[in-house]
Amino acid sequence: MNDSKSKKPEQIQNKVQIVEIEDDREGQRIDNFLMSQLKGVPKSRIYRILRKGEVRVNKGRIKPEYKLKGGDLVRIPPIRVAEAKELAVASDQLCEHLTAAILYEDDRFMIVNKPSGLAVHGGSGVNLGLIESMRQLRPDCRYLELVHRLDKDTSGCIMIAKKRSMLRYLHGLLRTGGVQKYYHALVVGHWSVKRRQVDEPLCKNEKLGEGRIVRVTPDGKPSLTRFKVLQHYKDCTLVEAKPITGRTHQIRVHAQCVGHSLIGDPKYGDVEANRSMKRLGFNRLFLHAASLEFLLPDTEELFKVSAPLDERLSVPLALLKKEES
């Protein structure tokens, strides 16, 4: 769902800016800070002005890896309009959809039920992603950053930080396994209730014409996914997948390697099964980030949020014939 229209880029800035760093930004790298301030300016241009010393902190030259401190004064030089990329604008329809898709929001973060087909951010041929759309939807929010990512074709829960401190907190939880992620996937065949995990190393390769491909290989990175059967259907099974590690395409490849590829998966799926299920109404990858659980900061309260399936999954799923486990 990359529903957008374009407009000519507006002038970003035509004079020197002096920005005082708030405490919430402390610890952020100067290059990342500049990218958040100079939307649409190519990364190459940002690193060029850093190398040339046009960006100063407290009147001194700094390196791209410099970490900001509260109270720092950052000098940002003028950036010509011609150096900005054309800005994509989220359509009214997309804005309405995303507004309805907000599952939770407070002054620190929000969780959105990302639609399938919408990339999490622009780039690599994508003009407009979720984060750019949310920034347009919430122009009053001074800080909006993705906490983690989902593949373009995967729907469901994704976290967006509204404060730098919350981003650091959630990143810390993700690194230490403090965020429990649960996915729902419809897979080919009868998944045994006894198969509760897949522990196979994964390696990411680049293949011409196929994009990013992940394979099970002995020299790959350790990867673990826990599975639970939710419902058996005729010729397929709805499973809950809990990735313990966070490798690219982990759930899809782990399911495929044990003979149960995901329905609607164009990269790792079963062609005949996908064709058959498409006739039943399944016209997208059946992988959905169903829920998240973690402790909120400064409290022992367990926070949990769940995202409902969209109609492209829920409607055909309701028509399938259930079987006993």
> Is 151 designated active site?
yes
Residue 271 in contact with residue 288, Cβ under 8 Å?
A: no
Contacts of 95 (CB under 8 A, 6+ apart): 133, 136, 137
237, containing H or E segment: strand 236-243
Q: Report the alpha-carbon distance of residue 196 to residue 67 in Å, rounded.
A: 43
Paired tokens of 59: 């009147």
Give Cα separations from 85 to 13, 32, 147 (angstroms). Answer: 14, 18, 24
Q: Which of 31, 106, 151, 219 is catalytic?
A: 151
88: amino acid identity, one letter: A
What 8-state DSSP symbol labels residue 232?
E
314, containing H or E segment: helix 311-319
Distance between first and last Cα of the chain: 36
Residues marked as catalytic: 151
